[in-house]
Chain A
């Protein structure tokens, strides 16, 4: 049953002005691609704005028609209900609709439902006109300059896979008492997170420092890594297309709404994501894990430490 803030078939009464919402995917396994739908005219395209990803402001607001959110990811959006009302005419409600098809725990299929055929999550009931003193995102206010990307001290690889019916990272199991590798504090690192499989997707959550996605590339996997054969359960490659805000020209394959600081990255089928980190303020022990809660419960996880003055160059920890 689809719930928002614990409520079945929830609705929110809004006035004709801009609202900011933070959308958190708090489910165990499902990936969402959320659109705004007029239930009486589901073909109407209703744009809105993404302004932040995982709690971090984007450099500038981006207009979208949808965004894709994996478990534990957060998107801050602005919906201008005055503008929406002009698009839907005499109608008075729009709904946040998940149009991404997902039929099992492995991840979404490549199918995006037509408007009105997905799952409605939340209804907005648009009321009267009120004064709106908020900044119009269409004026492209500059929020934030992303920190610079520097040459990493080391590049590490992490393969998220399945082995003998269990989840593994670099062919090893979780042991929460063992630190797999040590990051030298106050240095930069690149991490390749790699999914060799064409069936499962994993939302990867890394504790301590946030990261940026430098590239999303197809690694041509298309196999179940165990047998080497093409999986009959292949989903094909259907990465998020940017939701109308396009793919970055600077960071290959990365949707513009993901050009921000992040702490959870969706690792899609057959994909290698290059992440950039600067480990600064905090030393100590931290986990990296798949945030599909079922995978997390089955220990698709590793622990690492951050320490000053410790050199560990292991590229495949």
Chain B
């Protein structure tokens, strides 16, 4: 038997993890990008695991890539919803409208809102556009749909998932939570979308501003997510 080196052990562990992931997603015919542990910086590992660069379509029909176009170098708030949803999605969307009002012109400037359809089969870009207009979503907030398998991968990668397949299949179980992220710092958090909008806004502001409140040796830290252009 070959000597078990540390590298062998790590490689074997990597294979096991991929096999486990495939089994989890097997029924959904989704394959997750294989990742290896060697020589990958931790930040890149998070990107590969959790921020797949799938192609999505905006409510204006524009094709975008999730990581390259929507997340890279940005602060984001991500919601999953679907337009025919009766209770929880309209409520959370309404809360986000209120949050957008509180955050004022930061939305679209250094904080971006994304609402991704949980029913990509039925939600066409024009349906999302109507939903956005009906709720009064402002600029800096994109509603997105795409290929069902891509959206499934995206949902699971972002952590909107249940172990129990019965609960995982219920779309309403994924529409209450908000994912809040700061890609330049790779800080990711969640917040309850059903909570008080003032509370949601304070969580978002805290995630966005806390790392830059202090100064190191009298020098204030530059904010990598504020674009000067």
Contacts and interface: CB of A to CB of B under 8 A. Distances in A.
Interface of A: 104, 106, 163-167, 173-178, 199, 224, 226-227, 229, 231-233, 298-299
B222 to A, nearest CB: 28
12 contacts: A163-B176, A164-B177, A164-B194, A165-B177, A174-B192, A175-B195, A177-B198, A199-B164, A227-B170, A231-B164, A231-B167, A233-B163
B196 A227 contact: no
A174 B174 CA distance: 18
Given A164-B177, A166-B176, A232 B165 contact: yes
Chain A at the B interface: SS class? loop
B212 interface: no
Given A175-B195, A175-B199, A299-B195, A229 B176 contact: no
A141 B195 CA distance: 51
B173 A165 contact: yes
A226 B195 contact: no
A229 B166 contact: yes
Chain B at the A interface: SS class? mixed
Nearest to A177: B199
B199 A165 contact: no
B22 interface: no
A118 B173 CA distance: 35
Interface in B174-229: 174-177, 190-196, 198-199
B160 interface: yes
A236 to B, nearest CB: 15
Given A173-B192, A177-B199, A227 B176 contact: no
A177 B196 CA distance: 10
Contacts, number: 65
Nearest to A299: B192
Contacts of A232: 164-166
Interface of B: 88, 160, 162-167, 170, 172-177, 190-196, 198-199
Given A164-B193, A178-B196, 15 more contacts: A106-B163, A164-B172, A164-B173, A164-B176, A164-B177, A165-B160, A165-B176, A166-B176, A166-B193, A173-B192, A173-B196, A175-B195, A177-B198, A177-B199, A227-B167
Listed from nearest, the 8 A-B pairs whose CB atoms lie closest are A164-B176, A233-B164, A173-B195, A173-B192, A166-B192, A165-B177, A165-B173, A166-B176
A198 B193 CA distance: 25
B173 A226 contact: yes
B176 A224 contact: no
A226 B171 CA distance: 12
Contacts of A231: 164, 166-167
A183 B163 CA distance: 38
Contacts of B166: 224, 227, 229, 231-232
Given A175-B196, A175-B199, A164 B167 contact: no
Contacts of A163: 176, 194
A164 B163 contact: no
Contacts of B190: 298
Nearest to B194: A173
Given A104-B163, A232-B164, A299-B195, A226 B170 contact: yes
A106 B167 CA distance: 14
Contacts of A177: 196, 198-199
A164 B88 contact: yes
A232 B162 CA distance: 12
B199 A224 contact: no
B164 A166 contact: no
A176 B176 contact: no
A218 B193 CA distance: 32
A199 B168 CA distance: 14
Contacts of A174: 192, 195
A224 B192 contact: no
A101 B51 CA distance: 32
A177 B160 CA distance: 27
Contacts of A165: 160, 162, 173-177
Contacts of B193: 164, 166
B157 to A, nearest CB: 15
Nearest to B89: A164
Most chain-B CB neighbours within 10 Å: which of A166, A176, A224?
A: A166
A224 B167 contact: yes
Contacts of B196: 173, 175, 177-178
